[in-house]
Amino acid sequence: MQLGTRWTSGDVPPRAVPAELHAAIASVDGALPADPLGQPRPRWTLTWLEGRPIAELDTGVLVTMEHDGTAAVRTIDDED
């Protein structure tokens, strides 16, 4: 696994994030509840495993690229 990059939820993903993942990431970001206390937004981490990108949100949500090139949203619990 190689480390890619990090960015804050709600921000535009960096160029290193494949375009195929952008819509799924935006969907997850849009589903996050607003924080009335003004706490920092969670952050995404992009890594690569066996040549495929994995965007992981600090909350445990994963956006991965399937073998067919489509994006899939899972939680870390789904990976067990």
Is 53 within a domain?
yes
The answer to the question of residue 36 being in a domain is no
Please check whether residue 35 lies inside any domain of the structure. no
Q: Tens digit of pLDDT for each residue in 16-55?
A: 999 999 999 999 999 998 888 878 899 999 999 888 999 9
For position 37, what pLDDT does the model report? 84
Per residue in 58-74, pLDDT (tens digit) is 999 999 999 999 999 99
Query: Residue 16 domain-assigned?
Result: yes
- Report H helices in the chain: 19-31
Q: What is the pLDDT of residue 62?
A: 97
Please give the single-letter amino acid code of residue 65: M
What pTM, to 2 d.p., does this model score? 0.87
- Domains in the chain: how many in total? 1
What's the domain range around 56? 2-30+41-79
Closest CA to 10 of 44, 39, 35, 37: 44
